[in-house]
């Protein structure tokens, strides 16, 4: 199979995942494939067959990212990401998990993080990371896959919402704001705006928190921006505001989507019920919704309009402190 037979979305995702984790994290399995997988006729118990146009990849993140280490073999359909990949097999070391158990666990996580039309491997890796890492935050229960998010879009009024809304309406910042997503009493609101400098992004964040009392009272205001200047210089930074690792995940989302000149803010009001690793997926879902509503990307995650591709090449990278 040549790279010309594989969807551009998958090729882009291979590049993105390897740039985030390590160079060989996601590898395209070239022929000859494992005979038990590629040629099921040689193994009557095999349920898998590789069709023309499908791709098989091996996903093996470094142990510094996921510990105990895992290795997954996945099959990608011709129309990925319109259709989800299939996990053919998995293995890990530690915690007494068998190959069958880690394979099923990975399939459950994939099922729960899959969104139609969106690339999924980053969310799959982060979901497994939360479940398998012995020091995972809020990991107080036996390993089990996160439950699917049951989203309820609603505006939950409080005593200050009317006043805060009045301030927001007259703000000079043209925020695009999502409806409220409520999950287990926690509320999430995403917003985004086009920015062309790091200074402007930071000013917008400061103004938002100082002028909107409802936002100021949020438990966490997670932020990330990604900017490319006409000279090709890159500025990007993020802040989790106490929601450990959420800022870096939001920054990774912008990297994976490859959207430029945008600031994203996701506010969370904690409802008293721990969401575990699912909170990261909800934050990213709300951020994606803001980017879609803001016309930065379409529903399939493709960038729209001015994406900052103006200086030719990636240029120098100036990366702010990662909080």
Helix axes of 246-257 and 121-132: crossing angle, nearest 10 degrees: 160
* Cα distances (angstroms) measured from residue 14 to each of 28, 181, 269: 8, 31, 35
Fold of 3-132: Ubiquitin Conjugating Enzyme (3.10.110)
Cβ-in-10-Å burial (0-12, 13-18, 19+) of 222 comes to buried
Residues 6+ apart with CB under 8 A from 53: 5, 77, 78
Of the candidates 209, 175, 211, which has an alpha carbon nearest to the alpha carbon of residue 194?
175
Question: What architecture (CATH level 2) is domain 152-322?
Answer: 2-Layer Sandwich (3.30)
Q: Per the omega criterion (within 30 degrees of 0), is the bond before 81 cis?
A: yes
What's residue 164's pLDDT?
37
CB neighbour burial string for 265-283, b if at least 16 within 10 angstroms, e if fewer = bbbbbeeeeebbbbbbbbb
Cβ-in-10-Å burial (0-12, 13-18, 19+) of 24 comes to exposed
Q: Tell me how far apart the terminal alpha carbons of the chain are, to the nearest angstrom.
A: 42
Query: Is the alpha carbon torsion for 182, 82, 120, 306 positive or negative?
Result: negative
What's residue 116's pLDDT?
73
What's residue 129's pLDDT?
79
What's residue 192's pLDDT?
97
- How many Å apart are CA 288 and CA 277, to the nearest integer? 18
- How many Å apart are CA 118 and CA 101, to the nearest integer? 26
- List phi, psi (to 5°) of 125: -65, -45
CATH 3.30.230.30, the chain: domain bounds: 152-322
3-state SS, residue 73: strand
Question: Average pLDDT per run of 10 along the chain, which is 323 residues long?
Answer: 68 82 83 43 46 84 79 90 90 74 87 79 82 48 43 39 38 89 93 95 94 91 95 93 90 90 96 85 92 89 60 37 37
- How many Å apart are CA 298 and CA 296, to the nearest integer? 7
CATH 3.10.110, the chain: domain bounds: 3-132
What's residue 305's pLDDT?
61
Asked if 3 and 29 touch (Cβ cutoff 8 Å), the reply is no
């Amino acid at each position: 199979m040549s790279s010309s037979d594989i969807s551009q979305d998958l090729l882009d995702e291979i590049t993105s995942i390897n740039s985030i984790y390590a160079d060989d994290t996601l590898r395209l399995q070239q022929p000859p494939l494992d005979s038990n997988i590629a040629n099921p006729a040689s193994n009557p118990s095999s349920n898998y067959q590789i069709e023309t146009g499908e791709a098989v990849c091996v996903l093996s993140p470094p142990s510094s990212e996921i510990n105990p280490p895992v290795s997954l073999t996945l099959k990608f359909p011709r129309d990925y990401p319109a259709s989800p990949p299939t996990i053919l097999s998995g293995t890990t070391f530690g915690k007494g998990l068998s190959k069958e158990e880690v394979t099923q666990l990975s399939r459950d996580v994939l099922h729960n993080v899959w969104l139609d039309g969106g690339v999924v491997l980053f969310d799959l890796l982060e979901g497994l990371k939360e479940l398998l890492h012995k020091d995972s935050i809020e990991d107080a229960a036996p390993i089990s896959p996160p439950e699917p998010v049951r989203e309820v879009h609603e505006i939950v009024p409080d005593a200050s919402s009317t006043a805060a809304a009045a301030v927001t309406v007259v703000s000079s910042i043209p925020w695009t704001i999502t409806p409220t997503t409520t999950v287990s009493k926690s509320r999430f609101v995403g917003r985004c705006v086009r920015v062309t400098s790091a200074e402007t992004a930071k000013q917008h964040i400061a103004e938002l928190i100082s002028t909107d009392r409802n936002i100021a009272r949020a438990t966490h205001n997670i932020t990330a921006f990604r900017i490319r200047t006409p000279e090709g210089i890159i500025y990007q930074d993020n802040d989790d505001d106490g929601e450990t690792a959420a800022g870096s995940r939001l920054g990774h989302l912008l990297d994976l989507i490859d959207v430029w000149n945008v600031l994203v803010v996701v506010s969370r009001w904690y409802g008293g019920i721990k969401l575990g690793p699912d909170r990261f997926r909800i934050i990213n879902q709300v951020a994606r919704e803001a980017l879609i509503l803001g016309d930065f990307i379409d529903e399939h995650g493709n960038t729209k309009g001015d994406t900052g591709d103006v200086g030719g090449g990636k240029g120098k990278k100036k990366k702010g402190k990662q909080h």
